Copies of this chain bind each other. A is one copy, B any other.
Amino acid sequence: MAQFNQTISVDCVIFGFDGEQLNVLLVDRTLTKEGQEIFSDLTLTGNHIYEDEELDNAAARILFDLTGVKDIYLEQFGVFASPERLNHPNDRQWLLANGRNPDSRIVSVAYFSLIATKEITLEWKGRNVKWYPVNSVGTLAFDHNQILSKALAALRNKLRSAPIGFALLPEKFTLSQLQKIYEIILGTELDKRNFRKKIARMKYLIPLNEKQKGVAHKPAQLYVFDRDIYEKSKTEMFDFSI
């Protein structure tokens, strides 16, 4: 593999869902000097790209490096390149301590991605990453709060126009889980019956002959998403509303 490109980086906003909340994967950034902690805060996951690497591949690589998972939903949603984006004192100090020039400009191409929180083990390669509920994220490094909020907006938008909710769920999921995802991301309450009527119209959500087990209530039917059927139905789905 070639070397890193010094001016282009990719940041990934990795969303996860644990059944209750929408979470983001954040990296612990602690700067120490002679054993003393100088500061400690959090960043999104990201990295520079290799000279011969496509952006999409760089994003997938970063994701794999941190989570050990491949073939994940990934979508580019913006570029962040303000000349001031590395100007905060902590950020400059951090860059200096890592042998980088805080005055050189870095464009960051931002992706968001969706995975089921439980599907991944964060012990992978001993990275210092953790899930944080999106609602309680404090001040992040660089312009990462901006990136996160734009990612949320992009996620909401996308969720309205394409069936991506189950990317946050295990392969087999229940309709209530799916409904909860819509409710949390869109910030609404949805009617159970109306929700299920819509689902019934989506031919690519396929009920299995299989039910939940070990729950202290009527076990729910499990569903899977069929990508092939979805791709076919997409061509027919035209939305001519002005």
CB within 8 Å of B: which residues of A?
Answer: 5, 7-8, 49, 51-55, 76, 78-79, 81-83, 105, 107, 109, 159-160, 182, 186, 188, 190, 195, 198, 239-242
Contacts and interface: CB of A to CB of B under 8 A. Distances in A.
22 contacts: A5-B105, A7-B7, A7-B8, A8-B105, A8-B107, A49-B81, A51-B83, A51-B105, A53-B83, A54-B81, A54-B82, A54-B83, A55-B79, A55-B81, A55-B82, A76-B78, A79-B79, A81-B109, A107-B109, A160-B239, A160-B241, A186-B242
A242 B79 contact: no
Contacts of A190: 242
A8 B5 CA distance: 12
Contacts of A5: 105
A8 B241 CA distance: 37
Contacts of A76: 78-79
Contacts of A8: 7, 81, 105, 107
Contact of A186 (B82, B109, B195, B240): B240
Contacts of A182: 242
B242 A195 contact: yes
The 4 closest A-B pairs by CB, nearest first: A7-B7, A52-B83, A79-B109, A79-B79
A242 B83 contact: no
B83 A198 contact: no
A78 B154 CA distance: 13
Given A54-B83, A186-B240, 16 more contacts: A7-B7, A8-B105, A8-B107, A51-B83, A54-B81, A54-B82, A55-B81, A76-B78, A76-B79, A79-B109, A81-B109, A107-B109, A160-B239, A160-B241, A160-B242, A190-B242
